[in-house]
Amino acid sequence: MSKETEIKRRVYLDHAAATPMDLRVKEAMDSYMTDEYGNAGGLYREGRRAKDGIDHARKSLARILSCRPDEVVFTSGGTEGDVLAIIGTARANKDRGSHIVTTTIEHQAVLESCEALEKEGFEVTYVDVEPNGVVDPKKIESALRDDTILVSVMYANNEIGTIQPIRNIAKILKDRKIIFHTDACQASEYLDLDVQKLGVDLLVLNGSKVYGPKGVGAVFVRNGTRVRPILFGGAQEGKRRAGTENVPGIVGLGRALEIADEMKVREGARLSELRDYLISRITKEIKRTILNGDAKERLPNNVNISILDIEGEATLLYLDNYGIACSTGSACTSESLDPSHVILALGKPYEHAHASIRFTLGRGTKKEDLDYLMEYLPGVVTTLRKISPITVEEDAKGMSHPEAFAGENMRVKANSKNYK
């Protein structure tokens, strides 16, 4: 393997984990870190200036989401947004019922919030997705009960990029007065965020996936939706989120979403083409490779492929040495040895999940970057396959090593076909 010093270039292909901040966002934030340092709660000039910055961002979000400014609650990121949307809503609506419906491929922020609620006496149904990673709205419908208060389905998946039929699910829920939450952290760079068209009551986004700052996010809370705070100690954000506002972060999030909104259509088309180019090259030039997730109902920047017989982790480390950054699934699970719960939820065996590798493209990605990747990837795969002790069946389905899942770390046990 070549030494770090010999590397010709650096190719970053992990935009689903983090995006570089757009310089226009940084510029908008700068003065709020130094000159305009006031507490937005202050009634004097410094405070009013800070509050003006927040108000401007709130109006930008309201325009992009097609909602009222007071329906926007700023948070510390996507995680807090999901926790507030799920735990805050469930607790506030317990008088109406205690059943929640979600899917097996949600982000851990949603899954672990649901688990925490199960310990509080709520019941959660985890609906399976189809083998292509898209949830069937009919399956959501048949999971509903008289005491269902909340349904949570992500807009687009962070690992395999599948886009979920949010509008169709919203139609099913509309007349039943069931609150509908969607995690739009991955979708917000590419998809329409009009909450009226989507028909959702709660929508979560964050700054770090849209070329904005990390550690800031927002929740759209439809007027009339009861949400109990999860943080205590202040009346900020309409008494829904206590704590001094992250003024530079909020200003940056507003600017980042404005830019994403302007770029959406063109950048989506550009990246879709590059995505399909990379998928076609990998699956044609490397034998025994399988695309995870739907080929069409997919984010423009997501390529997730299982390269059979080798560990995704090993591929990732080799590629890093050649100057290429990618991931084996969600960044949140890359430090643990558990295989991706998302790939397993597709009905794929343990070995396919371990073999998965994710390339997520971004604004800086050019065709040459993908060609550079393809200069090295086939050789890396050949090298690793030579030393691999295993050969996996290409059309294998379901669990191959049930004993590997006995541990407490596997969270989506409920009614997923993989865990029976």
Ligand X SMILES: *Cc1c(COP(=O)(O)O)cnc(C)c1O
Active site residues: 332
Does 208 bind ligand X (CB under 6 A)? Our answer is: yes
Size of site (CB under 6 A) for ligand X: 15
Does 19 bind ligand X (CB under 6 A)? Our answer is: no
Number of residue whose CB is nearest ligand X: 78
Report the alpha-carbon distance of residue 349 to residue 405 in Å, rounded.
12
Residue 321 burial class via C-beta count within 10 angstroms: exposed 0-12, middle 13-18, buried 19 and up: middle
Does 212 bind ligand X (CB under 6 A)? Our answer is: no
Which of the stretches 65-73, 88-96, 202-210, 394-402 binds ligand X when contact is defined by CB under 6 A?
Answer: 202-210
User: For residues 90 and 203, which CB has a smaller minimum distance to ligand X in the complex?
Assistant: 203
Site for ligand X in 86-145 (CB under 6 A): 107, 109
Q: What is the 8-class DSSP label of residue 22?
A: P
Does 246 bind ligand X (CB under 6 A)? Our answer is: no
Which residue has 């949600």 as its token pair?
106
Nearest to 219 by CA among 188, 260, 175: 188
User: Taken in order 241, 244, 248, 249, is the CA torsion positive or negative?
Assistant: negative
User: For residues 125 and 206, which CB has a smaller minimum distance to ligand X in the complex?
Assistant: 206
Task: Find the largest Cα–Cα distance for the chain.
Answer: 69
Does 77 bind ligand X (CB under 6 A)? Our answer is: yes
CB of 345 to ligand X, least distance (A): 15
Nearest to 108 by CA among 356, 347, 409, 350: 409
Does 237 bind ligand X (CB under 6 A)? Our answer is: no
CB of 176 to ligand X, least distance (A): 26
Which of the stretches 46-54, 75-83, 280-288, 363-371 binds ligand X when contact is defined by CB under 6 A?
Answer: 75-83
Amino acid type, 195: V
Amino acid type, 330: S
Q: Please state the φ and ψ torsions of residue 144, each to the nearest 5 degrees.
A: -70, 145
Report the alpha-carbon distance of residue 251 to residue 213 in Å, rounded.
9
Tell me if residue 103 falls in helix, strand or coil. Answer: strand
Distance, C-alpha 238 to centroid of its chain: 26
Task: Write the binding mask 249 to 288 for ligand X: x where contact by CB under 6 A, - elsewhere.
Answer: ----------------------------------------
Does 186 bind ligand X (CB under 6 A)? Our answer is: yes
Does 416 bind ligand X (CB under 6 A)? Our answer is: no
Non-local CB neighbours of 403 within 8 Å, separated by 6+ positions: none
User: For residues 51 and 107, which CB has a smaller minimum distance to ligand X in the complex?
Assistant: 107
Bridge partners (DSSP) of residue 220 are: 72, 203
User: For residues 331 and 374, which CB has a smaller minimum distance to ligand X in the complex?
Assistant: 331
Does 158 bind ligand X (CB under 6 A)? Our answer is: yes
Q: Contact with ligand X (CB under 6 A): which of 28, 64, 100, 185?
A: 185
- What residue ranges bind ligand X (CB under 6 A)? 77-79, 82, 107, 109, 154, 158, 183, 185-186, 206, 208-209, 217
